[in-house]
Amino acid sequence: MGEPRQRCHAPPGHVVDTRAHGSGPRLSSAAVAEAGRHEAAVEKRASPGGVLAVLLFAGLAVAAVVTIVYRQNQGTSAPAKANTVVMAQIAFNPKTLTAAKGSEVTFENKDVTVHNVTADDPKVASGTIAPGKSFRLVVQQSFDYRCTIHPGMDAKVVLAG
């Protein structure tokens, strides 16, 4: 029988010294240098799928930040009409409304969830106000009110003069 064959990892087209030296086949120095350059080039290439995934996640992160900033700015503008309180971003805007005694105050829900307007003195109970709906109230005195659905969502109406 002949000598056992050993696997050679030389790049195609390179000379391999197969003389017996006790440690198996040997690559010529040119073959070793070429193999090293080939491996370095392979290691530096990024997979197209990985690059696309990173770009996709970066785009989603930017879109999320833009959406958050846009929505926060929607709820911070002053109400369009006098004597109007806007419910948006889980807050009443303005936080303090000044109105004349006997005037009508409108509470508009421009949020994506339901709210209510509740006060103890005077007794005010709007019931649930769905998004896009409103509640009207004629004010006779100053009062603090809140949304009992969302803790921390409170404001007040102050009478002018």
* DSSP string over 113-152: S-B--EETTTTEE---B-TT-EEEEE-SS-EEEE-SSSTT
**R_g (Cα) of the chain, nearest Å:** 37
Which helix (H) or strand (E) segment holds residue 60: the answer is helix 48-74
Separation between Cα atoms, residue 10 and residue 137, nearest integer Å: 88
Which helix (H) or strand (E) segment holds residue 23: the answer is none
Predicted local confidence at residue 51, as pLDDT: 86
Is 62 part of any domain?
no
Is 92 part of any domain?
yes
Q: Above 50 in pLDDT, residue 76?
A: no
Q: What is the pLDDT of residues 51-72, one digit of tens each?
A: 888 888 888 888 777 777 666 6
Task: Give the type of residue at 62.
Answer: V
Task: Supply the mean pLDDT for the chain.
Answer: 80
Q: What is the pLDDT of residues 5-53, one digit of tens each?
A: 555 555 565 555 555 555 555 656 666 666 666 565 555 667 888 888 8
Is 153 part of any domain?
yes
How much is the average pLDDT of 140-149?
A: 96
Instruction: Show the CA angle centred on residue 30, arms to residues 25 and 35, nearest 5°.
Output: 75
Is 48 part of any domain?
no
**At 95, is the secondary structure helix, strand, or coil?**
coil
**Single pTM value for the model:** 0.53
Predicted local confidence at residue 65, as pLDDT: 76
Is 109 part of any domain?
yes
Which domain, by its residues, includes 144?
Answer: 84-159
Report which DSSP code applies to 88: E
Q: What is the pLDDT of residues 106-133, one digit of tens each?
A: 999 999 999 999 999 999 999 999 999 9
Backbone angles phi, psi at 107, to 5 degrees: -110, 110
Is 155 part of any domain?
yes
Predicted local confidence at residue 32, as pLDDT: 61
Is 20 part of any domain?
no
Which CATH number do you get for residue 112? 2.60.40.420
Q: Are 115 and 147 in contact (CB under 8 A)?
A: yes
Is 106 part of any domain?
yes
> How many C-beta atoms surround the C-beta of residue 18 within 10 A?
13
Q: Above 90 in pLDDT, residue 153?
A: yes
Number of folded domains in the chain?
1
The tokens for 69 are 């900033």
**At 34, is the secondary structure helix, strand, or coil?**
helix
